[in-house]
Every structure is written in C-alpha cells, then in structure tokens.
Amino acid sequence: MLLELMSNGSLAELPPDNIPDSINLPNEASVMLLLPHNEYLIGAGHDNWVYGRPGIFSRNVYLYDDERLSLSNDGAAHTTILSVETVKALRRKLFQNSEPPGKHSSTVLMLRQMMRGHPVFNSEGAEFLDEKKFARFMKIDDILEKAYWTLRFALARGEPEVQIRLKAWLRTNPEVFRDANHSAKLWLSIQDLPDQEALTELEGLSFSKSELTRLSLQKISPLVLYNPKSGWLVLGRFGRMQTAMFSVWVYANQELWQELRERRKLPISEIINVVWGEYDTQQAMRERANYKGDDK
C-alpha cells in the first residue's frame, strides 16, 4: 500500500506503481508513506518501521498508538510530525496487510498439552496441524480460539508469563466468566496507585483512594481488601524492587469470589492468574482483529 502525507496531515492512497524507483523496498513491505523533502516511512513485517531518504540515510523508528512521531535526520533543518491519529492509521493499515505474528505448528503443539481432552486434538491424521482446518474448529469454539491466539502471540513475543496465566485460565474453566452474575476487572500500574481512570473505576466500586493508598504501602503480597457493597480487591506485586516492580489490581464481585475462592478453593495467587488470563485472552482477540484474515 502506497500513501502520501498531505499538507493537512491526512493520508492519501496512491496507485502502487507510483513508488519511486530510487527506494529499495524490503520483500515483506506492506505500507509505504511518502513524506515531504523526498523522505519516506516504510512499514514491514510485524510493526517494523524504517524512516529514510533515498541514497542519504535510513534508520529504524518505533510507532506507538498513543504518541505522535517526530521525524528528522541529524543536522536537517526540517522536522516532520505525524499526529497520534496518523500513527494509529499507519499501524492499522500495516496490520491489515500483514499475517498475524507467530507460527501455527508450534502454537497447536503446545496448546495440545494444555487442552488434551479437546476433540480437535483427538481427530485422525493430526488435522490440527493444518491451519485452515484448525480455523474451522475455532469458528465454533470461542474458548479454543481465545486460547490459540493468546498462546500464539505469547510465543511470538517470548512471554512465558502469559503462558502460565493461560494454563490457569484453562484449568479453572473459562465458562465461569460467561456467567452474567460474575464480574471481574484488572488494572496494571507501575506507580504505587493505578492511573486516574482506574482510580475512578475503583472508587465507583466503593474502594476509596485512602484505602487503596494504605493497601499500596504494605510490603507483603498479595493483599486483599473487602467491601460488602461490591466485592473483593486483590493487590499483587511482580518484579524486583531494584528493577521493574509493578502492581496488579484484581477485582472480583462477591459471586465470582465465592465461586473461585470458596467453592473451588483457589489460592489468591491463582485467582490473580485466572482473572489476568481472562484479560490476556480479551487483549489477544482485540489484537487479532487488527490483522489480515480476520473476517469477524
């Protein structure tokens, strides 16, 4: 896909044969943006971006949905600014023209260990190794689909902690989150307290900022706070104090807590993993919708 950055900051699509001969495109290039001053931005693979000018320079840059991008070469008198909206649009177009990251074979072989009793892994001829045939099973089983994409993205990124949470989610039976009476939420924070949006949600669940502050000052983990009006809040901490310590705030209403803690006797650490696993699967399905081949 060939695009041009217009003077008002919008993107205009051009015919593919308008690509300048002076620019050498990588084989996997999916999106190319022509910039002022004879510069370009090329998106390829899974969120890989190169900014440059033919015959002068080229370097890798990173695009983030919530940040605008400033592009300038060392010593150049000009700077090109891409707005947050433009950055989001470029990443979306790249993903829409790219296959999802990860490998089907390694994903299903590991998933088979997690879901041994599932019919798809008991079929004759190892049909699950065929990606197209496996996709037909996922169309009629959303738990299989969620587990598959969560695991595939985790393997592609090298995230073993996501795999641990996915196993906990599957062990507990994800059907528990289908019950309309069961409610769970999760927030992540690097600071002692979550951001203002999360604080507003927590206060709406009857947990005051002063209670959350007192909870965050405790040195042990996990910690539990109960409010009879809404339910249970668990604070877990991960990482090391000297490096990247972060906090996970998990809310479960009274009905879900009763199911997980009292009926199933899950340890509090396992409840964190189960709810976090549900959060991971939701994130994975949102990410999958960005890529080529998603027909939902």
Cα separation of the two ends of the chain: 22
For position 16, what pLDDT does the model report?
82
pLDDT tens-digit readout, 14-25 = 998 888 877 877
Q: Is the pLDDT of residue 275 over 70?
A: yes
Q: What span, in angstroms and rounded, lies between the C-alpha atoms of 141 and 120?
A: 10
Q: How confident is the model at residue 220 (pLDDT cuts 50, 70, 90)?
A: confident
CA torsion sign for 110, 113, 114, 118 is: positive
Average pLDDT over residues 201-223: 93
Say what the pTM is. Answer: 0.83
Q: Is the pLDDT of residue 283 over 90?
A: yes
For position 9, what pLDDT does the model report?
86
Domain limits of the chain?
2-96, 104-158, 176-286
For position 110, what pLDDT does the model report?
96
Q: Is the pLDDT of residue 227 over 50?
A: yes
CA torsion sign for 54, 60, 66, 70 is: negative
What share of the chain has pLDDT > 70, as a percent?
A: 95
For position 241, what pLDDT does the model report?
45
How open is the CA angle 27-28-30, to the nearest 5 degrees?
120
Task: List the single range of 55-59, 108-112, 243-247 with lowest mean pLDDT.
Answer: 243-247
Strands 223-227 and 184-189: unpaired
In sequence order, the 6+-apart residues with CB closer than 8 A to the CB of 89 are 11
Q: How confident is the model at residue 240 (pLDDT cuts 50, 70, 90)?
A: low
Average pLDDT over residues 253-275: 96
For position 77, what pLDDT does the model report?
80
For position 41, what pLDDT does the model report?
95
Q: What span, in angstroms and rounded, lies between the C-alpha atoms of 124 and 50?
A: 46
CB burial of 72-107 (b: ≥16 within 10 Å; e: otherwise) equals: ebeeeeeebebeeebbebbbebbbbebebbbebeeb
